[in-house]
Chain A
């Protein structure tokens, strides 16, 4: 199917700012689903609130646009009632790790077969550029005019510690890798977390003097490196990208089915 068969064209041009990385995530996600050859009827997209969460309106899947931070809770309900469907939950960094931080770690702990995509632009864009739990110390935000003092989460380390069985990181610049990783994450049976570093030129970029969307993407190219590369050994400041965790563990829906069978006593 062509790209335009996966989107709701009537909502385009979309509302994201010029150069917003979330549009590139949308693009990469479509390529991933296209390559998988899955029908739109097999896909469910559940999102919360924020710039990132608007993505569910643009995709022509079964979509749920729910409340702030709770997308994974709704998605868990969808997946348990219809385990045959593929559930994708795109979230912003604040939506996933601040407002929805508990849903995030517990969905990971249960290892329910959901693909969580954390579109990390390190800021709350929709509400005007407040700092998020991924902004990091020393960065500027409208609520940190003298620079932020909060330490940030490492999405990969957090997802790994919480028990996610597929954890990866990529960027909006590396769009081909992004499509490949999202595809692998959808295929993975269990809770998959894909962090996509995304640019917000309007707030994060402007507040931190990082220039245009193009400049921010060049920075992604310069500040990241494949996992275990020689460059990382030389410069530990570089952020690694690739698949960090990919292990098999009992999946929640299949374990739940076993409990139903046991409770029914084989009837």
Chain B
């Protein structure tokens, strides 16, 4: 897979229910829950754009936006 460069984490605050799954399983500890129990990306510079937060979010609230188009594995 081609390396993708992170642009931003689009987090839908209305959809996020603060379960903390994205926070717990991020391999680089990029995300945290804020005082309203909503996920926020606090260490964006550490993000490797693996998309595990996006894939595991039960609420479809996270989208990892990347710069280059990632080549999808067939």
Contacts and interface: CB of A to CB of B under 8 A. Distances in A.
A224 B2 CA distance: 30
Contact of A176 (B14, B55, B59, B63): B55
A215 to B, nearest CB: 9
A213 B19 contact: yes
Contacts, number: 69
A28 B15 contact: no
Contact of A27 (B14, B55, B72): B55
Nearest to B23: A214
Given A4-B60, A31-B55, A213-B21, 19 more contacts: A3-B60, A3-B63, A13-B17, A13-B59, A14-B59, A18-B17, A18-B19, A19-B21, A23-B58, A23-B60, A24-B56, A24-B57, A26-B60, A27-B60, A173-B56, A212-B19, A214-B25, A217-B21, A217-B24
Interface of B: 14-15, 17-21, 24-25, 52, 55-61, 63, 72
20 contacts: A7-B60, A13-B14, A14-B59, A17-B17, A18-B19, A18-B58, A19-B58, A22-B58, A23-B60, A27-B55, A27-B60, A28-B55, A30-B60, A172-B56, A201-B19, A212-B19, A213-B19, A213-B20, A214-B20, A214-B21
